[in-house]
Structure 1
Amino acid sequence: MKKTSTNKLKILNDPIYGFIRIPNSLIFDIIEHPYFQRLRRISQMGLSNLVYPGANHTRFHHAVGCLDLMQKTVRVLRVKGIQISSEEENALCVAILLHDIGHGAFSHALEHSIVSGITHEEISLKFMHKLNEEFEGQLDLAIQVFTDKYPRKFLHQLISSQLDIDRLDYLKRDSFYTGVAEGNISSDRLIAMMNVVDDELVIEKKGIYSVEKFLIARRLMYWQVYLHKTGIVAEHMLVKVLMRAKELAEQKVTLFASKALSFFLYNKINEENFDNQVLDIFSRLDDYDLLSAIKEWTNHSDKVLSKLSSMIVDRELLKIEIQDKKISKQNQDKIIDQFLDKNELHKSEATYFVFTGEISNQAYNKKQPIKILNKKGKLKDIAKASDQLNLQALSKPVTKHFICYPKKMRLA
């Protein structure tokens, strides 16, 4: 029996927003598509659950949450007299639903290890084009909005800007699942204060304190959650595991892996050869592939791969030191030499256990200002409109440097 379109107007129950309505059959069919269902198997926050045990939510949760916020935003803007057609609304819903569909397993780990030269945003666009073929051009307008090629610029700002729907959901959602209360922004209040002036998304003056809280919450969430030192160590160790596996694969060493993971380990994949066939294989790669492989690699004959894998599985992570100044090569070499004295490894292998890096955060970027609309109809950058002096400070990038090394220099 053929299903009618009314059967597709489902509702989902979200722990943050309550009931989320799926607005039409196209959105329903996109959500039901295997490409989108894969997001259920991609963690939103990588290995942050090693720090915050509740942070097990997925990219699926986030995407559906964004869909709900986008529908609320369109309703608010229409009440204020902003003309948004049903086609434009649908394009916004599709674009925000698919904005993160290109994320790989554990979110960012693949971009820095087994896939090179292509970002998750570029892969998201490839997915959108492929889905557009399957849905016979129904995503044309969504792709124009997503790529900022549609004449009405404020529509793209809702997808990607300093106060976009993406950020309004992930800050609130990540705060909820980690239990870090500082990130609990009022997304409803911020949406209620949105308006459009001269094709630009703005915030009405009475919402200025909500914007201030949003920017401060974003800064705190970055330093407390996204750039938490243990989370940094875990993510870099995951990247190191995949880099080592890739190195061994290039040497034709046999590695346990799913078909999808094997493809990316034993083939050089970059932007030039990332075609539809590769995209289809990528769509079958998720957290489960990596976790099952890493668990098996704990028993591999290669000491580097097995030890790194065991450290992740057992949460015996490297020690990390963070400082304002760049780590000197002399200091790094000294630690590597100490490590080599205790272990029978080559220096190139030691760099999997002793390495440096940097982290940075800029809570507010003046180049893409959040504009406040005053009662006289004039626009002002939030950094100048606010009486909070620290908003000026938030616009300066803060960079910190770190070094990671084993807590016990001798590998068991």
Structure 2
Amino acid sequence: MTYSNEKLSEEKVFKDPVHRYVHVRDKLIWELIATKEFQRLRRIRQLGTTYVTFHGAEHSRFNHSLGVYEIIRRMVDDIFVDRPMWDSDERLLCLCAALLHDLGHGPFSHSFEKVFHLDHEDFTQSIILGDTEVNSVLKKVGKDFPKKVAEVIAKTYENKLVVSMISSQIDADRMDYLQRDAYYTGVSYGHFDMERILRVMRPQEDQVVIKSSGMHAVEDYIMSRYQMYWQIYFHPVTRSSEVILTKILHRAKKLHETNFSFETKPVHFYSIFNNQVTVKDYLKLDEAVILYYFQAWQEEKDEILSDLCQRFIDRKLFKYVEFNPSKQMMDLMELTTLFKKAGINPDYYLVVDSSSDLPYDFYRPGEEEERLPIHLLMPNGEIRELSRESEIVDSISGKRRTDHKLYFPEDMINHLSSKSTVKKKIKELLNLE
């Protein structure tokens, strides 16, 4: 028996609040879960700083990765078996790619990536292909097996059907995180009938399609997703904490570049600050490490770094007002000047944040090459794009919603002298009167 076919002596299960149970029978999957690179995902939250807004959102990338694996397991073991377009030889590859698809996420994922110009997918591939425990386990299947797993995650694998199961407009990744994020944030809008969607999925040559009889379940999924982006992922309070987190990292990098003498030296950041980060260095970073520095940096002599870290640790967030870039740029320029006069550094304390810049999207067919539109399989065998059949989906397709907020520390403004004309003008421009 080859390693790829080896099974555990008895099935292992993880109790899961979203899927009830996550089932593992393959020895390969069980060994991958036990690797230190995969266990690190327990120390990285799925939703970054969202726990600051929704206190239940403490779930990890580990939770989510197991969930994506379980959805794919059900597809390949229950739904696709014996379907004419499905190649059962791809089963184990699908399971591994699903389990490992988020392996390269860093602490506070997207904010961290934005500051240091990193890409978690690049790191995922580097971990899979590098000198790691994950790579050693995958190689037991075959010398080129790690490369195949990395290609699925990079969306370059030759079998596009396999890629679409993990990365498309309706994939296992999204189906898990929408339900999981809804569960842990305690909201009702991320729920949809996944059981129904799975039952009507059919493998085609280059992607998974949905039987037209399941269109209403897919509409529900699309609307759930649309609501989750605006109610959870773009929540202005979460964005405030992300703004502060981002500014802490920028400030620490700038101080390092100017040879500032840190009381608590940013040892874990050196290779990132110097744009020489290795996989080994990257894997040492998790949210516990980052929060240790933020905790310690509250005592640093640099007032900006100290203040920003106190704000993040103690949840003293920036306030925000609606901001229209096309109409209020002159106001922003004037505020920048006034902040400087008031001794408040606008580079760190006056921030425009646009939700359209965040790495989430809702259903926009044709706008993303790598995310194929959802296709319906009609009773006569014809394939039709979803928004051509669904008025509900058509009504939100291709419509980009942007949301701009201006963030600032209201407490600092309030502490300015009451006689100050600068204070009066700032409050006027921010509508704080």
Whether the 8 Å contact between 2:68 and 2:172 is mirrored in structure 1 is yes
Whether the 8 Å contact between 2:22 and 2:70 is mirrored in structure 1 is yes
Q: CA deviation at 1:311?
A: 0.9
Whether the 8 Å contact between 1:45 and 1:55 is mirrored in structure 2 is yes
**Equivalent residue number for residue 380 of structure 2:** 376
Q: Is 1:12 aligned to 2:14, yes or no? A: yes
- Distance in 2 (alpha carbons) for counterparts of 1:261 and 1:406: 27
- Distance in 2 (alpha carbons) for counterparts of 1:324 and 1:335: 14
Please tell me the root mean square deviation across aligned C-alpha atoms, in Å: 2.2
**Equivalent residue number for residue 398 of structure 1:** 401
Question: Which amino acid in structure 2 is aligned with residue 127 of structure 1?
Answer: I
Q: Is 1:173 aligned to 2:180, yes or no? A: yes
Which stretch shows the higher mean deviation, 378-387 or 47-56? Answer: 378-387
- Distance in 1 (alpha carbons) for counterparts of 2:324 and 2:387: 25
- Distance in 2 (alpha carbons) for counterparts of 1:154 and 1:385: 23
Match of 1:91 among 81, 93, 102: 93
Q: Residues 110-259 of structure 1: matches in 2 within 5 Å?
A: 110-113=112-115, 115-116=116-117, 118-130=118-130, 131=132, 133-135=135-137, 136=139, 137=143, 138-255=145-262, 256=264, 259=267
Question: Which amino acid in structure 2 is aligned with residue 378 of structure 1?
Answer: E
What is the SS of the residue equivalent to 2:109?
coil
- Distance in 1 (alpha carbons) for counterparts of 2:241 and 2:220: 29
Q: CA deviation at 1:301?
A: 0.8
Whether the 8 Å contact between 1:370 and 1:381 is mirrored in structure 2 is yes
- Distance in 2 (alpha carbons) for counterparts of 1:327 and 1:321: 14
Question: Which amino acid in structure 1 is aligned with residue 268 of structure 2?
Answer: A
Q: CA deviation at 1:249?
A: 1.0
Which stretch shows the higher mean deviation, 294-303 or 149-158? Answer: 149-158
Q: CA deviation at 1:146?
A: 2.6
- Distance in 2 (alpha carbons) for counterparts of 1:45 and 1:358: 18
Q: CA deviation at 1:151?
A: 3.2
Q: Residues 274-353 of structure 1: matches in 2 within 5 Å?
A: 274=277, 278-323=278-323, 325-326=325-326, 328-343=328-343, 349-353=345-349
**Equivalent residue number for residue 363 of structure 2:** 364
Whether the 8 Å contact between 1:362 and 1:396 is mirrored in structure 2 is no
Q: CA deviation at 1:376?
A: 0.6
Whether the 8 Å contact between 1:338 and 1:409 is mirrored in structure 2 is no
Q: CA deviation at 1:303?
A: 0.8
Whether the 8 Å contact between 1:11 and 1:22 is mirrored in structure 2 is yes
What is the SS of the residue equivalent to 2:48?
coil
Whether the 8 Å contact between 1:342 and 1:409 is mirrored in structure 2 is no
Question: Which amino acid in structure 1 is aligned with residue 401 of structure 2?
Answer: V
**Equivalent residue number for residue 43 of structure 1:** 45
Whether the 8 Å contact between 2:13 and 2:21 is mirrored in structure 1 is yes
- Distance in 1 (alpha carbons) for counterparts of 2:8 and 2:184: 33
Q: CA deviation at 1:260?
A: 2.5
Whether the 8 Å contact between 1:154 and 1:196 is mirrored in structure 2 is yes
**Equivalent residue number for residue 429 of structure 2:** none
What is the SS of the residue equivalent to 1:320?
strand
Question: Which amino acid in structure 2 is aligned with residue 64 of structure 1?
Answer: L
Q: Deviations over 1:31-55 (max 9, x none)?
A: 1111111100001001101110100
Question: Which amino acid in structure 1 is aligned with residue 391 of structure 2?
Answer: D
Whether the 8 Å contact between 1:8 and 1:25 is mirrored in structure 2 is no
- Distance in 1 (alpha carbons) for counterparts of 2:59 and 2:186: 13
What is the SS of the residue equivalent to 1:183?
coil
- Distance in 1 (alpha carbons) for counterparts of 2:51 and 2:127: 28
- Distance in 2 (alpha carbons) for counterparts of 1:103 and 1:216: 27
What is the SS of the residue equivalent to 1:214?
helix
- Distance in 1 (alpha carbons) for counterparts of 2:260 and 2:361: 42
- Distance in 1 (alpha carbons) for counterparts of 2:83 and 2:211: 12
TM-score (norm 2): 0.85
What is the SS of the residue equivalent to 1:321?
strand
Relative to structure 1, the CA distance from residue 364 to residue 249 in structure 2 (aligned partners, 3 Å threshold; closer, same or farther) is: same
Q: Deviations over 1:216-252 (max 9, x none)?
A: 1111100000000011111121011011011111112
Which stretch shows the higher mean deviation, 355-364 or 290-299? Answer: 355-364
Q: CA deviation at 1:88?
A: 1.0
Whether the 8 Å contact between 1:327 and 1:356 is mirrored in structure 2 is no
- Distance in 2 (alpha carbons) for counterparts of 1:280 and 1:398: 39
Relative to structure 1, the CA distance from residue 324 to residue 190 in structure 2 (aligned partners, 3 Å threshold; closer, same or farther) is: farther
Percentage of matched positions with identical amino acids: 28
Relative to structure 1, the CA distance from residue 251 to residue 8 in structure 2 (aligned partners, 3 Å threshold; closer, same or farther) is: farther
Q: CA deviation at 1:333?
A: 2.6
Q: CA deviation at 1:410?
A: 4.0
Segments of 5+ residues of structure 1 without an aligned counterpart are none
Q: Is 1:106 aligned to 2:102, yes or no? A: no
